[in-house]
Amino acid sequence: MQSELDALDNKLAQLVQLTQRLRAENLQLRQDVASALSGQRKSQDKIELASQRLEKLLAQLPDDAQ
């Protein structure tokens, strides 16, 4: 009976360790996703700004050059 309780205690300790490791990994992944989304937003903003600047430049070209 004691050996069964010891085995259960060991499994429980492993489960606690695994849970802690997965929580830490989950937190890191959430931070990575947030960082990636922020970077994506910045890139989209840059693309939008470049697009607007190109449209302005194209509008300034003479009609026969288009």
Count of domains observed in the chain: 1
Q: Is residue 29 part of a domain?
A: yes
**Mean of pLDDT values over 44-53:** 98
Q: How far is Cα 29 from Cα 57, in angstroms, rounded to an integer?
A: 42
Residue type for position 4: E
Q: Is residue 65 part of a domain?
A: no
* Terminal alpha carbon distance of the chain: 88
Q: Is residue 20 part of a domain?
A: yes
Tens digit of pLDDT for each residue in 14-43?
999 999 999 999 999 999 999 999 999 999
Task: Label residue 61 left, alpha or beta by phi (over 0 means left) and psi (-120 to 50 means alpha).
Answer: beta
Q: Is residue 41 part of a domain?
A: yes
Q: Is residue 22 part of a domain?
A: yes
Q: How far is Cα 33 from Cα 41, in angstroms, rounded to an integer?
A: 12
Domain that holds residue 8: 2-60
**Res 14: pLDDT:** 98
pLDDT exceeds 80 at position 66: no
Higher model confidence: residue 35 or residue 64? 35
